Chains A and B, each alone.
Chain A
């Protein structure tokens, strides 16, 4: 029941959530002369590098490769960005945590929100690409808000878990930078799920819930397919991670102030 109390506490502080987001976005893009355009250019350049590597040098991937890649890269970047930043967020706000009592999970929520805003920025590039590379436009695209919502839950859950770990285990950020990079190569972002041998696909989807996430983004946005059963696996993982994360914060967040 105290979990519900925690949720209520966060909802009560929704003004803080929106102020933190606004100020962080302002700070992030104020210092750069190209401003928020960087939020768009950044994933775009990352895509160009892989397109150069895969399409141009290795001559693989097919005609739609750039748009498939970009459709998968955007959610990957949201995931890795928010997770890595969450892992240090409690420590880097130590002085605030030591002076004011508020639901510290809001700091993690903020990192997930920034990642979400960056994802939306990425859509500014993705949508024209869908036209250029002749994506299969269908009603299945309407699944997008659902996938985004579930990814939000997934990233928030992991963010809460790793932000708490980050208080006691400082190396976690470096480890996560490596692990998220590994996840990129282990997930169907740079390649299609069909590259995985059929008999291993099921176990692969269970072991790597992100595989389903990226594949479903590509399916609904580019291939005109509906979400498939594997998305259920992702939903399951998301809920479990969120519950664990909330349980940790419920139990330990009043100890952070002494330990940061």
Chain B
């Protein structure tokens, strides 16, 4: 079976110039200070491959490049080096409430977010009840999102992402959404998806317990550099020992 995602030596670099965002003032000053431009290597030669149905955990400290990796896989960042091959469609839970417009109702935001991440209106309509039910927002769904608590917003975001999903799902530290009951419910839903062989999941966390519980493959990155990739148990052992 050929891998659903195959990453070979992918690198991501950011330009770290103080003058990256120019204004007239900086443009005038910049003439004498060209040497200030630096590059930051956020990801350095990351390689891994996963098959359909795999659950990949990505571990590492904060700021080690985990989210950058997800963004790269999602196609948001173009790799500066290496190759990335993905088969099938991707959906991401990068940040749950990204596209929400505060003035619009939860219902309107479901459609806007759904269409933004690439689903057809018709399909969203067919999944609408499922999303609303899962979010447990009830009549609040007709209220503007600005009246929501942060927990309610996250619940709605999670419900959209978990219902409108693709072949490959990416999750960035989201298992702690909402109150205890909702957490339990989202975990059950996650487990259901994990057991389902057709969904491939990439799960990012700095919590090794989460990774251990849910994933079968694991990638450990540290400061943008790949430390290990392999079976979860082996990689985690090294990660915890470090």
B-binding residues in A (CB < 8 A): 13, 15-16, 19-20, 23, 26-27, 30-31, 95-102, 168-171, 254-255, 257-259
Contacts and interface: CB of A to CB of B under 8 A. Distances in A.
B117 interface: yes
B115 interface: yes
B108 A23 contact: yes
B20 A15 contact: no
A95 B95 contact: yes
Interface string B1-43: 0000000000000110000111110010000000000000000
Residue among A15, A20, A170 with max Cβ neighbours from chain B (10 Å): A15
B112 A98 contact: no
Contact of A100 (B24, B99, B104): B99
Nearest to A20: B112
B interface secondary structure, majority: loop
Contacts of A15: 115, 120-121
Contacts of B52: none
A31 B94 CA distance: 30
Which 10 residue pairs across A and B have the least CB separation, nearest first? A101-B75, A99-B94, A27-B103, A99-B98, A254-B78, A19-B115, A171-B23, A16-B115, A257-B76, A169-B22
Contact of B98 (A16, A31, A96): A96
Interface string B123-135: 0000000000000
B78 A100 contact: no
Nearest to A106: B116
27 contacts: A13-B118, A15-B115, A15-B121, A19-B112, A19-B115, A19-B121, A26-B103, A26-B104, A27-B101, A27-B104, A31-B103, A96-B98, A99-B95, A100-B94, A100-B98, A100-B117, A100-B118, A101-B74, A101-B75, A101-B76, A169-B22, A169-B27, A171-B22, A171-B24, A254-B78, A259-B15, A259-B20
B82 to A, nearest CB: 16
Contacts of B120: 15
B77 interface: yes
Given A19-B112, A26-B108, A99-B98, 5 more contacts: A99-B94, A100-B116, A169-B23, A171-B22, A258-B77
A133 to B, nearest CB: 38
Contacts of A96: 98-99, 116
Contacts of A171: 22-24
B232 interface: no
A239 B116 CA distance: 29
B92 interface: yes
Contacts of A27: 101, 103-104
A30 B21 CA distance: 34
Given A101-B75, A170-B21, A171-B23, A95 B108 contact: no
